[in-house]
Amino acid sequence: MHNLFQQRRYLLTASAAVLACALTGKVWAADPSYPQKSVSILVAYAPGGQGDTFARIVSDRLSAAYKQSVVVENKPGVSGTVGTRLAAAAKPDGYTLFLGQTGEITVNRVLMKDLGYDPMKDLVPVVMIGNAPLVLLVPADAPYNSLSDLIARIRAQPGAFSYGTVGAGTPGHLAAVALGLGANLDMVNVPYKGVGPLISDLMGARLQMFFSSASAAMPQIRGGKLKPLAVTTTTRMHALPDVPTVAEIAVPGFSYTLWGGLFVPLGTSSAIIDSINREVNAIMATPDIRARFETDDQAVAANTPAQFAAYVRAEAVKYEKLITDAKLKYE
């Protein structure tokens, strides 16, 4: 099972978040009775997605722990930039938290120009909540039953194989791009406005492949409607022990996931950051929540703000190189 500590060299790096706050002079005095009123968790996408799920699991338990209302507010729009901009501009008093994910924090800043904010500078990592693997899906009746076979067929017919995406810079899109670069494949990107039509075309073999979140893929896999050929983590999923990793078969070191965690605006006091980190780690360690996340291979180890910050920095470097190498642009 993958977790927050896969890349040990990055996790030895200390977080500069507190120092950065001090240098900017934006630190707010810690409130020993925090919180004294309702807390909001902003989510940059509509209800029902992975980030929204992370936020709602945490909000329910935080409300009980803090004895204050913790409310999820969905602020979708423009690939997550609307909600992220609101979070970056929020008052750094601990009453506006942000559920940041791979795209909003590490991808959009490279892929999109003139955002008006930099999530790597304007938002401080607090705690990672979950890290979701992706699964490479193909039609159930596809004539290939392994990633090696699929790669051989793509190489034999350059430009004839298509993969689906639900937006530029989404984890599924970038995983496909990384596979194409790493294995030297010529494939066609077919963008969709939603997962529903994409899955329908994939099941009908009008599309050849799709990197889906594991939680969304499992019902289709269990129902025999789609076939998994590989997973995007560095180790195999417990739920799919017979499905190899992309790293095993094609691209050493391949790791593309959808992680999510809480962030706060720069200037939020270290006491509030530590309080939220402590409470969320305790929530994620409760048996029912832990079991739920482990079922989908999304669980991560308890982590400090410094460890989460180091992981985010490593991810930012990885995606910046991928986007640059692939010459990707936001469309």
Helix spans in the chain (H):
8-11, 17-24, 50-66, 81-89, 102, 108-111, 119-122, 147-156, 171-183, 195-203, 214-222, 246-249, 270-284, 287-295, 305-326
User: Can 8-132+258-326 and 134-249 be said to share one CATH topology?
Assistant: yes
Residue where the block lists tokens 């989510």: 43
Q: What is the mean pLDDT of residues 68-96?
A: 96
Q: Which residues pair with 117 in a beta bridge?
A: none
Whether 9 has a pLDDT exceeding 60, the answer reads: no
Give SS3 for 303. Answer: coil
- Yes or no: is domain 8-132+258-326 CATH 3.40.50.1370? no
Task: Identify which of 205, 207, 203 has the alpha carbon closest to the alpha carbon of residue 219.
Answer: 203
Name the more confident of 168 and 188.
Answer: 188
Spatial separation of the C-alpha atoms in residues 179 and 210, rounded to whole Å: 12
Q: What is the mean pLDDT of residues 52-71?
A: 96
Tens digit of each residue's pLDDT (9 = 90 or more) over 242-285: 999 999 999 999 999 999 999 999 999 999 999 999 999 999 99
Whether 19 has a pLDDT exceeding 50, the answer reads: no
pLDDT of residue 14: 35
Domain extents in the chain? 8-132+258-326, 134-249
Name the more confident of 316 and 49.
Answer: 316
Whether the Cβ atoms of residue 209 and residue 176 lie closer than 8 Å to each other: yes
pLDDT of residue 329: 82
pLDDT of residue 13: 37
Name the more confident of 93 and 216.
Answer: 93
End-to-end alpha carbon distance in the chain:
34
Whether 21 has a pLDDT exceeding 60, the answer reads: no
pLDDT of residue 142: 96
150: left (phi over 0), alpha (psi -120 to 50) or beta: alpha
214: left (phi over 0), alpha (psi -120 to 50) or beta: alpha
pLDDT of residue 31: 56
pLDDT-based confidence at residue 194 (cuts at 50, 70, 90): confident
Tens digit of each residue's pLDDT (9 = 90 or more) over 292-323: 999 889 999 999 999 999 999 999 999 999 99
CATH number of 134-249: 3.40.190.10
Tokens of 141: 């009746």
pLDDT of residue 117: 96
DSSP per position, 45-80: S-TTSHHHHHHHHHHHHHHHHHTS-EEEEE---TTT
